[in-house]
Amino acid sequence: MPLELVTVPCLEDNYAFLVHDADSGETAVIDVPEAGPIKAALAARDWTLSHVLLTHHHWDHVDGLPELLADHPAKVVGASADAHRLPPLDLAVAEGDSFTVGSDSFEVLDVSGHTVGHIAFYAPASKLVFTADSLMALGCGRLFEGTPAQMLDSMTKLAALPGDTTVCSGHEYTTTNANFAATVDPQNAALISRTQDIAEKRAAGMPTVPSKLQLELDTNPFLRASDPAIAAHLDMAGATPLDVFTEIRARRDRF
């Protein structure tokens, strides 16, 4: 059976995620922005934490870890390339590595760009990918350390996953991302429909994360840098996807 997924809102606009295997009882949390909401979600379900998966070193993805581990000892997994600035790791991993949580194998993907050493975790049997601040709902992370070429490579890697994969990203930025996307892809009917759905969900206090990869492929401009319509709208007809991606990211930074 696929892992059960629980989305845990944290801080002002972060998300952590719990995945639980009913047969083994193993439970993993992906990123720990703060401990309280995660401990409450575990207690409400009477789950025992077995794994902590860290995507990157930024404080709003790791700062709750000491408090969480004090009550819920677990194996901490993170990127070997980021080990020098992550909390202490029990398992250091890199692209191509895999490990199991319950019945599912988690594959490690290097998705550098937002940071160098950022990783994503892909659980194929459960059709889940945990992307944090790489691929986001209708966006991608700001390039604090990496280059546009690195982030485009990461987006291309994630775009190649099956379209029915659920994308679990790290922040509730979707409304702003949708407003920006409309400035570079204004005639996209799927984007217009999604923007309306986002407004309705947020008005009802509902999260817009996670999302399906196919929906991101249809609407997320950072996955659509090879679309001639976007290039034309940006007065970049004939430009390379990297040049278009770089321009989209620069415009998002100024938005």
pLDDT at 179: 98
Domain ranges, residue 184 = 4-254
Would residue 104 show up in a list of annotated catalytic residues for this protein?
A: no
Query: Would you give the distance in Å from CA 197 to the centre of its chain?
Result: 20
Does position 2 have pLDDT exceeding 90, yes or no? yes
Q: What is the mean pLDDT of residues 207-212?
A: 97
CATH number of the domain encompassing residue 112: 3.60.15.10
Helix, strand, or coil (residue 159): helix
Catalytic residue among 20, 51, 57, 58: 58
Q: What is the mean pLDDT of residues 192-202?
A: 97
Q: How does strand 51-53 pair with strand 128-132?
A: unpaired
Would residue 58 show up in a list of annotated catalytic residues for this protein?
A: yes
Q: What percent of the chain has pLDDT over 70?
A: 100
Would residue 60 show up in a list of annotated catalytic residues for this protein?
A: yes
Number of compact structural domains in the chain? 1
Query: Which residue intervals of 46-105 are DSSP H helices?
Result: 59-62, 65-71
Does position 1 have pLDDT exceeding 90, yes or no? no
pLDDT digits (tens, 9 = 90+) for 211-233: 999 999 999 999 999 999 999 99
Catalytic residue among 56, 57, 72, 118: 56
Q: Is 253 marked as binding a ligand?
A: no
The helix (H) or strand (E) run that includes residue 189 is helix 189-203
End-to-end CA distance of the chain: 43
pLDDT at 200: 97
Mean pLDDT of the chain: 97
pLDDT at 90: 98
pLDDT digits (tens, 9 = 90+) for 93-119: 999 999 999 999 999 999 999 999 999
pLDDT digits (tens, 9 = 90+) for 62-93: 999 999 999 999 999 999 999 999 999 999 99
Whole-angstrom Cα distance, residue 20 to residue 6?
Answer: 8
Q: What is the mean pLDDT of residues 14-30?
A: 97
Q: What percent of the chain has pLDDT over 90?
A: 99
Q: What is the mean pLDDT of residues 183-211?
A: 97
Cα→Cα distances 32→18, 50, 57, 66, 200, Å: 10, 14, 11, 9, 28
Would residue 56 show up in a list of annotated catalytic residues for this protein?
A: yes
Catalytic residue among 61, 110, 118, 185: 61
Q: What is the mean pLDDT of residues 155-167?
A: 98
